[in-house]
């Protein structure tokens, strides 16, 4: 008996069906690519959490942590509150989250949502690059709400020198207008437009103010950096920057570095670090130089340079607000060796003290040596807990002694009598472990 239908005769059944690869998370389109509204990676991450109706912190702890164990170690509140800000930057966390997000969403080239394209130009510690707290233009958020759009934070808002919204002529906010608190970089609730503390909207209306010309220029220049950072024709590296400076000095100031610096309002030997020692410029240095030469940052890294006609003196100095530590890589290795040695030392010190002894900060150690930091912290906690237990045991024994002393004086060891003696030694029966010791002592004959 023949089959009812021979499938090999049907062309449709033989045609290979292309099933696109599936991603673990929704693959949302990043907002405003190639425009001043180009979204930041943290913003996309929070929007993705919202699409899955979960908290961003839960998404990172459970999904990102599982996909990439290095991210799993970051599941603690200080990371979510402040350290996560560097996910938008050009350091370790930016690299980790870009590759995790690309893997989980199947969307490539997400490094343009961070400042990773600039990692070969700016100092490794990202000096003065990122704002200390999340910032936003309340009017932009208000407009997003009116249009029914999901809240999206452009990358430029995260960049420290960008301090105003040129479109709405207002300064960026970094405190909730209702409760005056700063916001965590990764909130529990998946909406960056809602205050993490009082749950009120961060959007609002502002009366436009006259922004100083220099501030408007800085905003334009930072936007130029973000919009062009993925351009194929650019070579964004320190060498290109150095050669640009050399060429400008020779064409504009006939090779006279001091005259060049003076015309721009720089320190006399301001160029020596870049040209002689290979020191990288901070973002404020780059912007100051670009302002003086009247060029946009992306032009510095372009294929050809137009000659500056006249140098402009800086109207005010852009400050590196975050006076971050500059630690050369070889010194960092010595710090690592020192930290490893401390793991076997007799005395366990708190990490804050270790950092202070090295002239560093706790957050520096946590950023560069996360594993050692965790081990040192754990070690100190275990030792501190044991010390505290010993101390409490000593105090409890003292209560038993005091009860014995009162009895020896042929008096009843009432709470008042015992407390009177304990107060002299800065103890009290109000402390639960001492009260329990007192009850035990009373039962003793
Ligand atoms: Zn705005
Ligand atoms: Zn609030």
Model confidence over 221-248: pLDDT tens digits? 999 999 999 988 899 999 999 999 998 8
How high is the pLDDT of residue 321? Answer: 45
Question: Are residues 235 and 371 located together in one domain of the fold?
Answer: no
Task: Look at residue 322 in the predicted model and tell me its pLDDT.
Answer: 44
Question: CA 137, CA 145: separation in Å to the nearest integer?
Answer: 13
Domain region containing 295: 231-300
Query: For residue 434, how many other CB atoms are within 10 A of its CB?
Result: 21
* Inter-residue contact 201 to 194 (CB < 8 Å): yes
This prediction's pTM: 0.69
Residue 444: how many other CB atoms lie within 10 Å: 9
Model pLDDT for residues 147-180, shown as the tens digit of each residue:
999 999 999 999 999 999 999 999 999 999 999 9
401 and 274, same domain (yes or no): no
Count how many Cα atoms sit within 13 Å of the Cα of residue 45 in the half-sphere of its side chain: 32
pLDDT at 323: 46
Highest mean pLDDT among 21-35, 92-106, 260-274, 421-435: 92-106
- Kindly state whether residues 136 and 261 are assigned to the same domain: no
Q: What are phi and psi of 266, to 5 degrees?
A: -85, 170
Same domain for 142 and 237: no
Domain containing 292 — which CATH number? 1.10.260
- Cα–Cα distance between 85 and 158 in angstroms, integer? 8
Q: Which residues contact 325 (CB under 8 A, 6 or more apart)?
A: 125, 360, 361, 364
CA of 201 to the centre of ligand 2 (A): 8
Classify residue 262: in a domain, yes or no: yes
CA of 72 to the centre of ligand 1 (A): 35
Q: Which helix (H) or strand (E) holds 48?
A: helix 41-51
Report CA(315)–ligand 1 centroid distance (Å): 25
Does 224 fall in a domain? Answer: no
Query: Is position 378 within any domain?
Result: yes
Boundary-marking domain end, from 281, 300, 319: 300
Q: Check whether residue 139 and residue 32 sit in a common domain.
A: yes
Q: Report the alpha-carbon distance of residue 436 to residue 395 in Å, rounded.
A: 11
Rounded CA separation 325/359 (Å): 9
86 Cα–ligand 1 center, Å: 23
Q: Decide which of 419 and 330 is more confident.
A: 419
What is the distance in A from the centroid of ligand 2 to the CA of 258? 50
The yes-or-no verdict on residue 299 having pLDDT over 80 is yes
Q: Which ligand is nearest to the CA of 139?
A: 1
Residue 10: which pLDDT band, with cuts at 50, 70 and 90? low
Whether residue 348 lies inside any domain: the answer is yes
Helix (H) or strand (E) holding 407: helix 370-408
DSSP code of residue 194: B
Residue 416 pLDDT greater than 50, yes or no: yes
**Structural domain tally of the chain?**
3
How many angstroms is it from 88 CA to the middle of ligand 2? 23
User: In terms of domains, do 33 and 179 share one?
Assistant: yes
Of 261, 192, 181, 166, residue with least CA distance to 31: 192
Do 143 and 85 share a structural domain?
Answer: yes
Question: What confidence tens digit (pLDDT) does each residue in 352-361 have?
Answer: 888 888 888 8
For residue 388, is pLDDT > 60?
yes
Within this chain, do residues 68 and 109 fall inside the same structural domain, yes or no? Answer: yes
**Residues 243, 143 share a domain:** no
Q: What is the pLDDT of residue 127?
A: 77
Same-domain pairing of 74 and 184: yes
DSSP 64: I
Distance 175 CA to ligand 2 centre (A): 8
**What distance in Å separates the CA atoms of residue 130 and residue 361, rounded to the nearest whole number?**
18
Query: Does residue 197 belong to any structural domain of this protein?
Result: yes
Q: Kindly list the protein residues that place their beta carbon closer than 5 angstroms to ligand 2, a single-atom ion.
A: 176, 178-179, 195, 197-198
What mean pLDDT is reported for the chain? 88
């Amino acid at each position: 008996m023949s089959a009812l239908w021979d499938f090999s005769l049907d062309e449709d059944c033989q045609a290979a069906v292309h099933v696109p690869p599936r991603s673990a998370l929704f693959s949302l389109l990043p907002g405003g690519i190639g425009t001043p509204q180009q979204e930041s990676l943290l913003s996309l991450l929070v929007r993705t959490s919202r699409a899955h109706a979960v908290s961003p912190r839960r998404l990172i702890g459970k999904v990102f942590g599982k996909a990439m164990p290095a991210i799993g170690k970051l599941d603690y509140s200080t990371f979510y509150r402040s350290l996560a800000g560097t996910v938008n930057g050009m350091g370790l966390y930016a690299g980790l989250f870009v590759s995790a997000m690309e893997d989980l969403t199947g969307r490539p080239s997400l490094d343009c949502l961070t400042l990773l394209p600039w990692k070969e130009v700016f100092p490794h510690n990202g000096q003065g690059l990122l704002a200390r707290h999340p910032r936003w233009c309340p009017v932009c958020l208000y407009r997003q709400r009116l249009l029914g759009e999901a809240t999206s934070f452009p990358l430029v808002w995260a960049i420290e020198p960008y301090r105003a919204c040129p479109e709405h002529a207002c300064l960026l906010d970094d405190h909730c207008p209702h409760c005056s608190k700063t916001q965590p970089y990764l909130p529990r609730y998946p909406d960056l437009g809602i205050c993490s503390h009082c749950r009120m909207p961060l959007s609002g209306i502002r009366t436009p103010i006259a922004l100083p010309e220099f501030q408007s220029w800085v905003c334009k220049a930072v936007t130029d950096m973000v919009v062009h950072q993925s351009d194929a024709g650019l070579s964004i590296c320190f060498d290109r920057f150095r050669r640009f400076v050399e060429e400008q000095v020779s064409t504009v100031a006939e090779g006279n570095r001091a005259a060049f610096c003076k015309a721009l309002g720089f320190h006399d030997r301001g160029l020596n670090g870049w040209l002689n020692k290979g020191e990288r410029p901070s973002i404020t240095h780059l912007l100051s130089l670009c302002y003086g030469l009247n060029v946009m940052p992306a032009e510095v890294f372009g294929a050809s340079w137009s000659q500056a006609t006249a140098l402009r003196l800086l109207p005010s100095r852009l400050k590196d607000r975050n006076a971050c530590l500059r630690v050369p890589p070889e010194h960092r290795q010595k710090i690592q060796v020192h930290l490893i040695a401390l793991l076997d030392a007799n005395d366990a010190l708190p990490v804050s003290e270790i950092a202070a002894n090295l002239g560093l900060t706790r957050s520096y150690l946590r950023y560069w040596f996360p594993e050692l930091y965790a081990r040192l912290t754990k070690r100190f906690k275990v030792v501190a807990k044991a010390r505290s237990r010993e101390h409490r045991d000593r105090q409890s024994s003292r209560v038993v002694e005091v009860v014995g002393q009162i009895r020896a004086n042929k008096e009843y060891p009432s709470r008042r009598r015992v407390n009177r003696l304990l107060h002299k030694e800065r103890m009290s029966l109000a402390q639960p472990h001492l009260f329990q010791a007192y009850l035990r002592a009373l039962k003793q004959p």
